[in-house]
Amino acid sequence: MVIAHATVAGRLALRMLMENEPELELVAAAATAADAGRVARERHADFLVLYEGLLATGRTGVLPAACTVVLLGMEGRPAAGTAALIPGARRYVLWDRAAEDLPPVLRGRATPTVSPA
């Protein structure tokens, strides 16, 4: 799994969350969508956890078909075009519920989905 957030604090929070989940392997962290996409391709990541705010500054590029993108956002429902911006975006988790909702999504036990507004 690759995590991506624009701030050091955001990346640290995600890293700490993942360290508490022994069955989930964090392989890299990135500060931009482009870097996250590059690392996900290089490391053959199965998940890319991407803060949706990064989409305003760039794109991930084409990701491996096996890479599921989980968008972290601030709104109860993502904007209508959010999912279309990232091929493979299949999940949406609220940032303020990431500690509760993200691990089950990554383990395949919960399925909050990206849906149009």
Domain boundaries, the chain: 2-102
By C-alpha distance, which of 34, 53, 36 is closest to 2? Answer: 36
CATH of domain 2-102: 3.40.50.2300
Question: What is the chain's Cα-based Rg?
Answer: 12
Distances (CA, A) of 107 to 23, 34, 43, 75: 8, 25, 19, 23
Taking only the tens of pLDDT, the chain with its 117 residues reads 999 999 999 999 999 998 888 888 899 999 999 999 999 999 999 999 999 888 777 788 888 888 888 888 887 666 545 555 566 677 888 888 889 988 888 887 665 554 433
Predicted model pTM: 0.83
